[in-house]
């Protein structure tokens, strides 16, 4: 499972039992499905947020037209999940930023299952911690 | 000027005349002003977006109450600017993600002028480029 490889690599780059004020994952997907389905993307963001243990305040998405992508964000009580799709270059940019007791990594399953990327890259950033650890993994 | 130090360090970590499909800045501010002023924050985000050369689609902000912070996002035609303030720990998390001909760095002046951080940290990430360069600067 590519996802599992990514997760284990990312976690290996940070400390065990990692706790930070906020964890921010930058997620790049290439070779994706479902990049233009505004309703489906909204549902995937809501599921990702729920899986992370977050509370959705609202979801706003914009479609740029039939041959173009979708951009938007799920605003969370615990920060946000953003989405920008570029079907023109077969690329999806996501970021998952959650604080408190949420787990950003748990948002990944829903996003991978929805977009089915052929290739993915993650960088993980502690937020609110000066000179915090960062980690990257590719699969 | 702290801002200038940050900018020059960040730019020094990337290549000259840097162009990427998307540039994503993660911005941490400590020791800030104006962390609870929803209207002022909205204006700062709009100015930051304009300075970066971006088009604002909408701005959605949520206040968590009198002693608490503000969370939200400016959705852009060219991606987004997010904002999460924690007055409790004197901390503001921003991210500026812009694509096309926009310049993410040009959003910084408006954000620094509005929040007046005593300390700041930036990490810069190319998005949509496998194994892209990253850079960090602190001031």
- Chain A CB within 8 Å of residue B9 CB: no
Our CA-based measurement puts residue B71 at a distance from the nearest CA of chain A, in whole angstroms, of 7
Asked if A68 has any chain B CB less than 8 Å from its own CB, the reply is: no
CA–CA dist A78, B111 (Å, integer): 21
Both tokens of residue A71? 């951009």
How close A10 comes to chain B (CA, Å)?
A: 14
- Give yes or no for residue B37 having a pLDDT over 60: yes
pTM over 0.95: no
Highest-confidence segment of A46-60, B2-16, B114-128: A46-60
Angle, vertex CA A22, rays to CA A51 and CA B116, nearest 5: 140
The predicted model gives B13-40 an average pLDDT of 78
Containing A112, the helix (H) or strand (E) segment is helix A108-115
Whether complex ipTM tops 0.90: no
Question: Is the CB of B128 less than 8 angstroms away from the CB of A58?
Answer: no
Of residues A139, A108, A97, A110, the one with CA closest to residue A34? A110
Is A79 among the catalytic positions?
yes
Q: Which residue has the tokens 């948002």?
A: A107
In Å, what is the CA distance from B42 to each residue of A68, A78, A110, B99, B110? Answer: 28, 19, 31, 21, 11
Residues of chain A with C-beta less than 8 angstroms from the C-beta of B98: none
A130 near B CB under 8 A = yes
Residues listed for chain B: 139
- Confidence band of B134 (pLDDT split at 50, 70, 90): low
Helix axes B108-115, B38-52, angle to 10 degrees: 160
CB < 8 Å to B80, chain A: 71, 73, 82, 84
pLDDT, position A133: 61
Q: What is the pLDDT of residue B2?
A: 40
pLDDT above 70 for B34: yes
């Amino acid at each position: 499972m590519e996802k599992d490889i990514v997760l284990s690599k990312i976690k290996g780059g940070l400390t065990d039992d990692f706790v930070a004020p906020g964890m921010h994952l930058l997620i790049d997907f290439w070779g994706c499905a479902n990049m233009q389905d505004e309703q489906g993307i909204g549902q995937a963001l809501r599921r990702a947020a729920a899986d992370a243990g977050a509370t959705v305040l609202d979801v706003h998405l914009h479609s740029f037209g039939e041959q173009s992508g979708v951009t938007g964000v799920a605003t969370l009580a615990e920060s946000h999940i953003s989405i920008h799709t570029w079907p023109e270059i077969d690329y999806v940019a996501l970021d998952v930023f959650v604080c408190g007791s949420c787990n950003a990594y748990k948002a990944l399953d829903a996003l991978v299952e929805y977009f089915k990327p052929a290739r993915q890259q993650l960088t993980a950033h502690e937020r609110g911690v000066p000179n915090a650890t960062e980690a990257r993994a590719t699969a």
